[in-house]
Amino acid sequence: MPMIRPSSDLRNKYNEISEFCNQYQEPVFITKNGSGDLVVMTNELYERLCGKSDLHRLLDEGLATVNTGHGRPASEVFSDLEKKLEFSADV
């Protein structure tokens, strides 16, 4: 269940909010005058969420490439990777 706190808690109960975020790796939603205003989360959670966003963007770009008829067969890509890896192992 999400934690929702008023904006005054940022000032008065910062340590409590920080401990919750760090312990549970969950965001805390901050309200201002009863409406959603901010989301507080740990750096780790933020980076993880950004990473997922980047992955989704890259997957969407890849699917768009395939859907337009561009791209290469997987067997060709893997063959090229094997050649590069064999070359790297020989060095």
The mean of the pLDDT values for the chain is: 91
Rounded to 10 degrees, the C-alpha dihedral 13/18/43/36 comes to: -50
pLDDT score, position 12: 98
DSSP string, 51-74: HHHHHHHHHHHHHHHHHTT-S--H
Predicted confidence band at 1 (pLDDT cuts at 50, 70, 90)? confident
Residue spans per domain, the chain = 3-41, 45-90
Class of domain 3-41: alpha beta
Looking at residues 21-42, what average pLDDT do you find? 97
- 3-state SS, residue 30: strand
Largest CA distance in the chain: 65
- 25 near 15, Cβ under 8 Å? no
2/82 Cα distance (integer angstroms): 46
